[in-house]
């Protein structure tokens, strides 16, 4: 079976969050099911720099205003199709925004182009490789479903995966004539969305299957509270919606071999974690202490409950804990974190920016990771935490609720607890959870049992890739039915 995966991010080439981890790790896992995945990605400057051998498979004289080429290459063990359009993607830095963090005003054109090219590939644009199923990720690729429906191969099954319903790709109606879709597509059950154009909305409308990245989030997004305006449509499409929890790349995130950490360890022996803890203390200029080190590795945004963490910093410090933070995002939250670091020098360390090796060191050296998200489609940092013996402290929402077992008395007695869970959106609940962590940490046998239970949990892609394989197969049999 051949799958065309369409995405705006792919680890390790271009990443702003978990989307890249997923699109980078799922194809090799699908290969084990006999599935051949090619991934279509914009040829951003950093991607072109990393590219070696390649072939040109499609040439466009005019793709949304300028010449472009589709290149094929193999990088990092993945078969890639790179959309090389200097006009649209020849910009350094973030894939979505300028140096000041403002979204590029032509993002609609950039990602419509990506989606239109995906439909060209689906329609046989490349000699000897035709996709059986097209899998589009997030709003940047979601318009693929509309282009496929209005192409020469409208029956090609399309899966749209929602990684985060907060990002929808909404634009003014005036862009519609430039999209190259038939006028009839501008309708309520087409791309039209509250009088404008909705890229994700269009994807959800036209997709054969809609997936999101955990079963709980799949339920939540059909409610008004979490549906972000799309819950009505998702309820209409109820039978097409599936929740498949993300896996992690267990080779890249392996504490027994990780090249980014000084002390290698495993569930059998945690002793070497001490070295990583020391290295992390040094990186964040922490004073030595007896209490736990809490880590935050995150986009600094409202979704992630970063404001709740800021409010809890005094509580952490007063009770003997320390905090290390790596992240970037909202200016106000970044500023408040930096202010806390200077107020509680030696107990709180903050590094702003994006640093993949440092994220590994923090997972390997901290004692607990804080993820008090207001909503969380899946979340990957709690899964990396489990694998590295960093106990996740998470809000009971979305994928966090699906992947962590709270250390209540029953779970502790049964030997299945893997983390600490609290009510979402509540500063008091977060502080109580932090206190519970500090108490448990003071009982080393209990704490180690939680660490080891987490390390034994299997969140590799083995199970979830099988679910995607089944879904793709079910779509093919549906289509073939007379
Ligand atoms: P989201 O995709 O919503 O940001 P996830 O938990 O799914 O959240 O994925 C976040 C990914 O980004 C993880 O791989 C995490 O380690 C990484 N990450 C987040 N912030 C940083 C940062 N500042 N530096 C390095 N890695 C980061
Ligand atoms: C999104 C979500 C996150 C999820 C990731 C990968 O960025 O916010 O919860 O883990 O996508 O699916």
Atom 10 of ligand 2, nearest CA residue: 379
Which residue shows structure tokens 């205003």? 65
> If you measure from the C-alpha of residue 371 to the centroid of ligand 2, how many angstroms do you get, rounded to a whole number?
13
Query: How far is Cα of residue 409 from the mean position of the Cα atoms in its chain?
Result: 32
The pLDDT value recorded for residue 43 is: 98
**Could you tell me where the beta strands, DSSP code E, fall in 16-154?**
36-42, 55-63, 66-75, 78-84, 133-137
Pocket test for ligand 1, best of 299, 376, 384, 387 (most atoms within 8 A of CB): 299
Rounded Cα distance between 276 and 258, Å, is: 11
> If you measure from the C-alpha of residue 365 to the centroid of ligand 2, how many angstroms do you get, rounded to a whole number?
24
Q: Is the pLDDT of residue 376 over 70?
A: yes
Q: Which ligand is nearest to the CA of 166?
A: 2
Q: Is the pLDDT of residue 123 over 90?
A: yes
| Domain 2-247+462-480: CATH architecture, name and number where available | 3-Layer(aba) Sandwich (3.40)
Please state the φ and ψ torsions of residue 369, each to the nearest 5 degrees. -120, 130
> If you measure from the C-alpha of residue 12 to the centroid of ligand 1, how many angstroms do you get, rounded to a whole number?
13
- Classified by CATH at the fold level, domain 270-457 comes out as Rossmann fold (3.40.50)
The pLDDT value recorded for residue 44 is: 98
* 2-247+462-480 and 270-457 share one fold: yes
If residue 196 lies in a helix (H) or strand (E), which one and from where to where?
A: strand 196-198
354 lines ligand 1 (CB under 6 A): yes
For the stretch 344-364, pLDDT in tens is: 999 999 999 999 999 999 999
Q: Which ligand is nearest to the CA of 377?
A: 2
> If you measure from the C-alpha of residue 363 to the centroid of ligand 1, how many angstroms do you get, rounded to a whole number?
12
Rounded Cα distance between 251 and 341, Å, is: 34
The DSSP annotation for 296-308 comes to EEEEESTTTTHHH
Q: Is the pLDDT of residue 455 over 70?
A: yes
> If you measure from the C-alpha of residue 63 to the centroid of ligand 1, how many angstroms do you get, rounded to a whole number?
33
Pocket test for ligand 1, best of 18, 280, 333 (most atoms within 8 A of CB): 18
Rounded Cα distance between 422 and 337, Å, is: 22
> If you measure from the C-alpha of residue 296 to the centroid of ligand 1, how many angstroms do you get, rounded to a whole number?
10
**Bond into 364 cis (ω within 30):** no
pTM as predicted: 0.97
Q: Is the pLDDT of residue 481 over 90?
A: no
Q: Please list, in sequence order, all residues whose beta carbon lies within 8 angstroms of the beta carbon of residue 20, skipping any fewer than 6 positions away.
A: 7, 9, 10, 11, 13, 14
Atom 7 of ligand 2, nearest CA residue: 18
298 lines ligand 1 (CB under 6 A): yes
Sheet with 209-212: list strands edge to edge: 55-63, 66-75, 78-84, 36-42, 2-6, 133-137, 158-162, 209-212, 241-243
Q: Where are the domains of the chain?
A: 2-247+462-480, 270-457
- Nearest ligand 1 atom to the CA of 353 is 23
Rounded Cα distance between 148 and 373, Å, is: 35
For the stretch 106-122, pLDDT in tens is: 999 999 999 999 999 99
> If you measure from the C-alpha of residue 287 to the centroid of ligand 1, how many angstroms do you get, rounded to a whole number?
26
For the stretch 141-199, pLDDT in tens is: 999 999 999 999 999 999 999 999 999 999 999 999 999 999 999 999 999 999 999 99
18 lines ligand 2 (CB under 6 A): yes
Three-state DSSP at 100 gives coil
The pLDDT value recorded for residue 482 is: 47
- Nearest ligand 1 atom to the CA of 381 is 6
């Amino acid at each position: 079976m051949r799958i065309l995966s369409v995405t705006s991010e792919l680890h390790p080439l271009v990443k702003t969050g978990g989307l890249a981890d997923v699109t980078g790790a799922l194809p090799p896992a699908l290969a084990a099911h006999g599935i051949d995945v090619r991934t279509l990605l914009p040829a951003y400057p950093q991607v072109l720099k990393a590219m070696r051998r390649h072939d040109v498979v499609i040439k466009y004289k005019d793709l949304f205003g300028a010449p472009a080429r589709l290149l094929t290459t193999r990088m990092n063990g993945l078969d890639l199709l790179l959309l090389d359009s200097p006009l649209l993607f020849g910009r350094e830095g973030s894939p979505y925004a300028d140096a000041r963090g403002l979204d590029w005003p032509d993002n609609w054109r950039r990602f419509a182009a990506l989606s239109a090219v995906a439909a060209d590939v689906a329609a046989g644009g490349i000699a000897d490789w035709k996709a059986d199923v097209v899998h589009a990720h997030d709003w940047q690729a979601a318009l693929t479903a509309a282009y496929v429906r209005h192409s020469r191969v409208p029956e090609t099954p399309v899966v749209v995966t929602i990684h985060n319903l907060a990002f929808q790709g909404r634009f003014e109606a005036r862009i519609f004539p430039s999209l190259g879709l038939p006028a009839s597509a501008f309708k309520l059950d087409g791309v039209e969305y509250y009088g404008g154009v909705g890229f994700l909305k269009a994807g959800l409308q036209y997709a054969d299957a809609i997936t999101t990245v955990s079963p709980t989030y799949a339920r939540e997004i059909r409610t008004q509270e979490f549906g972000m305006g799309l819950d009505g449509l998702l309820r209409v499409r109820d039978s097409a919606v599936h929740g498949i929890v993300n896996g992690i790349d267990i080779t890249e995130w392996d504490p027994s071999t990780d090249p980014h950490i000084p002390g290698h360890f495993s569930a059998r022996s945690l002793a070497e974690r001490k070295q990583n803890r020391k290295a992390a203390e040094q990186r964040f200029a922490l004073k030595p202490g007896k209490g736990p080190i809490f880590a935050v590795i995150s986009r600094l945004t409202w979704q992630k409950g970063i404001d709740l963490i800021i409010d809890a910093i005094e509580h952490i410090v007063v009770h003997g804990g320390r905090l290390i933070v790596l992240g970037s995002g909202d200016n106000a939250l970044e500023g408040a974190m930096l202010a806390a670091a200077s107020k509680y020098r030696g107990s709180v360390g903050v590094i702003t920016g994006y640093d993949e090796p440092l994220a590994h060191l923090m997972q390997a050296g901290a004692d607990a990771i804080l993820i008090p998200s207001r909503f969380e489609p899946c979340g990957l940092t709690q899964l990396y935490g489990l694998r590295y013996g960093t106990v996740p402290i998470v809000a009971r929402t979305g994928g966090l609720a699906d992947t962590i077992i709270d250390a209540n008395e029953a779970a502790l007695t049964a030997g299945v607890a893997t983390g600490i869970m609290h009510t979402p959106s509540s500063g008091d609940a977060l502080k109580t959870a932090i206190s519970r962590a500090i108490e448990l940490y003071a009982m080393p046998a209990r704490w180690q049992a939680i660490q080891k239970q987490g390390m034994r949990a299997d969140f590799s892609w083995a199970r979830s890739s099988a679910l995607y394989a089944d879904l793709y197969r079910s779509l093919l049999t549906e289509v073939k039915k007379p």
